[in-house]
Amino acid sequence: MALLKQFRYSYLFFACSLMAFWSSFLNYENGLYITLIFFLIINLTCFSNEYLVIQYYKKNNQKNFNKGYALFIMIQVLITLIIFFVFQFVFA
């Protein structure tokens, strides 16, 4: 239960990314594999980045956690879009 609460954004991001990108690569050759690799990469980056944010704010209690989490969310969305466009360019 602690992992569910601790990585709440990553699980929400996983659900949102499934809804947004599930059919983006299915028309390509080996589309299912490309889609699975895409989801694996973006969700690994999300979970690892959230882990680093959590560890940083455990060590630095005096800093504003909400501000850092908002920055994490913006950066993660940017990383996801970059990875999406790279996949579109490479596998087109």
Identify the band that residue 58 occupies on the pLDDT scale cut at 50, 70 and 90: confident
Distance from C-alpha of 65 to C-alpha of 53, rounded to nearest angstrom: 9
Q: For residue 10, what are the contacts with CB-CB under 8 A and spacing of at least 6?
A: 43, 46, 47, 50
Identify the band that residue 3 occupies on the pLDDT scale cut at 50, 70 and 90: low
Distance from C-alpha of 44 to C-alpha of 34, rounded to nearest angstrom: 15
Is the confidence at residue 4, as pLDDT, over 80? Answer: no
pTM: 0.81
Identify the band that residue 42 occupies on the pLDDT scale cut at 50, 70 and 90: very high
Is the confidence at residue 34, as pLDDT, over 80? Answer: yes
Q: Tens digit of pLDDT for each residue in 62-75?
A: 878 788 888 888 99
Is the confidence at residue 29, as pLDDT, over 80? Answer: yes
